[in-house]
Structure 1
């Protein structure tokens, strides 16, 4: 019995054979597509979104084959699977030993948490070296965004290096005290400092004697929960709250960000599609992504309040997993695009 098997079977159970292993793979990797976003809302699996980016397709297929051979799941065709009675019993029994990490619930911090972690790792390493007057070291990342952000952060700091390091350490300790010890350990073990290289996630999992994928899920949980803790108590985390500052891209894909710039200029979907030489459906996909990742994005231009609440009512009252049945009940005057926009907004719980 393992956490990874429990995690996988729980996800299979949510989908009930209505989505393929490919759909599960894209969900775990955090693919920013309209279909994946739609699935995360319809099947109530938002916490799983981008929760296991390190998983490989090969390992997922292997896990699937092992579960099928052990009669825990059964194929219902075309790469779709359902739990068997044995699989359901296994999942329930495993649920007495394992539980989904609570931090996964803050899935709306998926992009924020990744950005926070990259900035924090580099800043901790940089400050650890600078307070020892060591200016030459190999940075933990060569990514442009965290490198430039860390430079700005240190340049704007009003405290001297020692005071800044002490305050950052204090805020980190306070934020990590809100998490289970195992999550905090995985977090800290990966940090680098003066003449000290942080462990890889694989090395940390081996040191703590837990499965690699379990460690990855726990790390995701920790980052999301810490991001939420800091966001909720910015006065208590004056330094760490700055690490959550959004970049210009808002975590969007490059193409979607281009669409956003045109939306801000007041262009219609048709105008953007024509200008960018893309299909209107592609621009609609971009808008669904924007609605998913930008809490302050106003969809009233595309969905009236009346339409929004009609769709929302169907989602809340009916056990429906496909767009067409939702539209049949909500009304044929509502487009599939509007339904997907409502789903995206509902996934982050933001609409006036």
Structure 2
């Protein structure tokens, strides 16, 4: 099954809970966004390892570490749509892959010449070439994160990519920065096939020893949008991941205490995590109409209570977000 999606690491969320404002996501860059791209007909990978920024979300886009203490292995949380199709599946934490920096050193090289917000496709000669039957393993994508600190500029980007426009303020918190990340081209798309063919041709004509071949791709199809809001040194992160017909697998962690319920008719999961030196909590919900998954978290020198998180989620939903 073809996968595209979010690989998020918990480490950043922990730092945020401990007061490190650099935290959060959905970035979407940021290693989160680099793998974001829920692909139609495929599965989206969302093993919440809040990578570099639990905050922007870029998404956070998914702080989904669910507790085995609350649910037995045979009762992993599932979120289904009206057709009874599983859209979000929570699974044991052991299946999470290694951080991007360890398993894809070429990614950073491919982004060297890219500008903020640009999407880069790259091919590594000799990498997986022995499996020519699986072109999905040959072409890779990465995006250089772009943070919008100006709300008007952020709105322009959201409108350019057709995503829901996030507000400038939420519950007394004002936008600190936001970002929008792209969906990566499907392996079945013309763009994917043409780009792969072009880069392979370059590789065949290149000098011996050259392995990396990259190309910048224009994009307008967003995979996620997220924002970090601040009130002094208190922060709220809000992120939205667009599945576009795909599905999402979510890593579960034993430290979490979770509760599944509904917010304004939408399936939601509350996560309360207590570790040895830090504790934090966050809220996720799924919107079938938009086929989107949301993450809302709070950290800093003051945090919202569970009731306040739920109330804020209700207000966002009722505002059409």
Task: Please give the TM-score of this superposition, normalised by the length of structure 1.
Answer: 0.23
Q: Larger relative contact order (C-alpha < 8 A, sep ≥ 6)?
A: 2
Larger of the two Rg values belongs to structure: 1
Structure showing the higher strand proportion among its residues: 2
Structure showing the higher helix proportion among its residues: 1
